[in-house]
């Protein structure tokens, strides 16, 4: 049997109309969107289908909206007979992976993500910051650059996306300084359209508050291994999954390690749970040169 890994996106790929075609064609997806509206007490369906993009992109709205659409994408893959052997998610996407594996129900997952989104939006307002992707420089070089930029404030490596793309996160002044240092070294920088310094120490209070919420949640044993962001290797123990999810808000996303691990475990098919290719290019860039693995998107 082909080994398939379901992969769930985080923020960044949102667009008005996301998930609408699936909603129109599948009763299970319509149920999921109704559940999202009820659980979050937000117009998730309207925001996904009609926008406006500015309202959809608010962290407090975007996280449950992205989760809903990515879970819908998983339903499409499952209906087509794609059997998951593993699951992983980029940042927010880790919640979709845990839900697919049965660690939480859909309602529990939507509740947690809605709470997380509210906490993160408040943290971003209290401790303003930003993120930027640095391209074409090695992560070790970027760490040295961040060390220099810390004279201006907090800045850390937040997402290890590919060998040639690392995201930094922190205070606006420190990130700006790091970007200038990176450009001087021949790197390219792209400012990310985010509302805060996610996966950085500026989210510490948010992380502590979310940890308090998670302590009251029952984590069930997953039906198959999940790859947590804070580790990048498979985990099946519910207590360990909880501990790693508590760390996730402030810890880096080890996506390079995640895809390398899945490749070593023999994954031949990566099922991206999003209406458009979004994580696909990052997956392909992390696969070995001679890999025959493919990335499939639901249609």
**Averaged pLDDT, 166-187:** 97
Local confidence band at 193 (pLDDT 50, 70, 90 cut-offs):
confident
Smallest Cα–Cα separation from 202: which of 122, 148, 135, 140? Answer: 122
Q: Which helix (H) or strand (E) holds 294?
A: strand 294-296
Q: Which fold has domain 4-125+201-296?
A: Malonyl-Coenzyme A Acyl Carrier Protein; domain 2 (3.40.366)
204-242: per-residue pLDDT in tens? 999 999 999 999 899 999 999 999 999 999 999 999 999
For the chain, the average pLDDT equals: 96
**Numbered ranges of CATH 3.40.366.10 in the chain:** 4-125+201-296
CA atoms within 13 A on the CB side of 70: 38
Torsion of CA 218, 253, 293, 21, to 10 degrees: 70
Residues of the chain within CATH 3.30.70.250 domain(s) are 129-191
What integer pLDDT is reported at residue 155 of this predicted model?
98
* Distance from C-alpha of 57 to C-alpha of 47, rounded to nearest angstrom: 9
Read off the pLDDT band of 195 (50, 70, 90): confident
- Annotated catalytic sites, by residue? 91, 199
Q: What kind of fold does domain 129-191 have according to CATH? A: Alpha-Beta Plaits (3.30.70)
Instruction: Please give the structure tokens belonging to residue 154.
Output: 């907090």
pLDDT bucket at 299, cuts 50 / 70 / 90? confident
What is the band of 259 on the pLDDT scale with cuts at 50, 70, 90?
very high
- Residue 15 is predicted with a pLDDT of 96
The whole model's pTM is what? 0.96
């Amino acid at each position: 049997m082909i080994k398939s890994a379901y992969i769930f996106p985080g923020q960044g790929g949102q667009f008005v109309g996301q998930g609408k075609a699936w909603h129109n064609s599948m009763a299970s997806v319509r149920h999921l969107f109704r559940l999202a509206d009820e659980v979050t007490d937000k117009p998730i369906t309207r925001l996904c289908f009609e926008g406006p993009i500015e309202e959809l992109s608010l962290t407090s709205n975007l996280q449950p909206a992205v989760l809903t659409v990515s879970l819908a994408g998983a339903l499409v893959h499952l209906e087509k007979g794609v059997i998951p052997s593993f699951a992983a998610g980029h940042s927010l996407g880790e919640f979709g992976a845990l839900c697919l594996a049965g660690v939480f129900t859909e309602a529990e997952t939507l509740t947690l993500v809605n709470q997380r989104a509210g906490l993160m939006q408040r943290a971003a307002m209290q401790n303003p910051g930003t993120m930027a992707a640095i391209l074409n420089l090695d992560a070790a070089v970027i760490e040295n650059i961040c060390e220099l930029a810390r004279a201006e404030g907090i800045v850390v490596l937040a997402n290890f996306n590919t060998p040639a793309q690392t995201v930094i996160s922190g205070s606006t002044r420190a990130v700006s300084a790091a970007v200038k240092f990176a450009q001087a070294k021949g790197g390219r920088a792209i400012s990310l359209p985010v509302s805060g310094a996610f996966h950085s120490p500026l989210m510490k209070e948010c992380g502590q508050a979310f940890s308090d919420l998670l302590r009251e949640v029952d984590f069930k044993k997953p039906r198959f291994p999940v790859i947590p962001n804070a580790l990048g290797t498979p985990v099946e123990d519910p207590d360990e999954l909880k501990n790693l999810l508590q760390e996730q808000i402030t810890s880096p996303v080890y996506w390079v390690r995640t895809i390398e691990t899945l490749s070593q475990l023999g994954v031949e098919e990566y099922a991206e749970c999003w209406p458009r290719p979004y994580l696909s290019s990052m997956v392909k860039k992390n696969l070995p040169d001679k890999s025959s693995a493919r990335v499939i998107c639901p249609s």
